[in-house]
Amino acid sequence: MVALSQRQLADPVELTRALVDIESVSGDEKEIADAVEAALTPVPHLRVARSGNVVHARTELGRPGRVMLAGHLDTVPLHDNFPSRQDGDLMYGCGTSDMKSGTAIALHLAATVTEPVHDLSFLFYDCEEVESERNGLHIVSRTHPEWLAADVAFLLEPTYGEVEAGCQGTMRAEVRASGTRAHSARSWLGDNAIHHAGEILRRLSEYPARRVTIDGCHYREGMNAVGVRGGVAGNVIPDECVVEVNFRFAPDRSPEQAAAHVRELFAGFDVTVTDSAAGALPGLAAPVVAGFLAAVGRPPVAKLGWTDVARFASLGIPALNFGPGDPNLAHTRDEHVECARITACADTLRSYLTGE
């Protein structure tokens, strides 16, 4: 088992590199979860528990509120970017940005913040980068909901040191064009469904993306084709063509409202919603959130994407995205993180948690 040293736990940059050098593609997080559990179990001010490859730690100091810091342990598949390498202030490697640098900050703070002004909870979970049903945070919300109790939660997802509030909702739908099958030598006897799909694509190409401002955060929606499926054989007029559509919607829409909007846009076609997840409103009104924004010293921006803040929002817990990674580098072959930004984000969170 990989052991994390006290020296690594004391330095979020060194700790980031140590975590990046533990391979943990989604579904293969046991080794890194073992390392996190082993590092936290001896810490005297923490109570540590584990479920599968989810590690939970908490203080019980009788403070007036509770702050949660959460980070996922998994990465997307490797792409000639493992193990890590250093180039000046830049650390390269799979997961450096999304989100082992953020997870390292949470682990570093869990081990080193002994006198917080609020009680603290930490959650390190698996399978964030794959389907929702496998997501460790999702599973824990059903099996150990008490682990998620908090007055505010911070997801240390890549935000490049900005506070990203809320998140967009996301939906996938299949829009189906129908026709009549025929021999291609007698195409006039059929009705080509692929040709009809052109109307679906036209509506998408002309779709006006809605922009909405919520609590000063500017969200932009997007509706895009992400896949096309059709055709029977080289000599057959196809009777069906399916366009897979992804809709990223502002958090003022519910999934039901988003589905109704998709069906309205594609009136005349068969629409099947295959997957959806609600967004999260910014949730900036809570006093504990205001205190953090004051510590950061910059206004929040909208999160353009879906993150697990939505899971906390569904439980009535305000949540923010805040981490050192650059979201534009997530999942890329050249994924990297600025070491100075790791240190800066760790210092900001430490100041907030200790009131210094």
The residues carrying an active-site annotation are 74, 128
Between CA 265 and CA 207 the distance in angstroms is 9
Between CA 196 and CA 210 the distance in angstroms is 26
Per the CB < 8 A criterion, the answer to whether 8 and 21 are in contact is no
DSSP string, 211-265: EEEETTEEEE-EEEEEEEEE---TTEE-SEEEEEEEEEE-TTS-HHHHHHHHHHH
Q: Edge-to-edge strand order for the sheet containing 85-87?
A: 85-87, 90-92, 336-338
Per the CB < 8 A criterion, the answer to whether 353 and 67 are in contact is yes
Handedness of CA 72, 77, 82, 88 (dihedral sign): negative
Handedness of CA 304, 98, 26, 312 (dihedral sign): negative
CA-based nearest residue to 157, from 145, 147, 167: 167
β-bridge partners, 197: none
Per the CB < 8 A criterion, the answer to whether 335 and 84 are in contact is no
Per the CB < 8 A criterion, the answer to whether 350 and 109 are in contact is yes
Q: How far is CA 227 from CA 174, 178, 224, 230, in A?
A: 9, 17, 9, 10
Amino acid at 284: L
- Under DSSP, the state recorded for 76 is P
Both structure tokens of 130: 């794959």
Measure CA 189 to chain center: 49
Between CA 317 and CA 121 the distance in angstroms is 13
Per the CB < 8 A criterion, the answer to whether 15 and 108 are in contact is yes
CA-based nearest residue to 298, from 159, 192, 178: 159
Per the CB < 8 A criterion, the answer to whether 277 and 256 are in contact is no
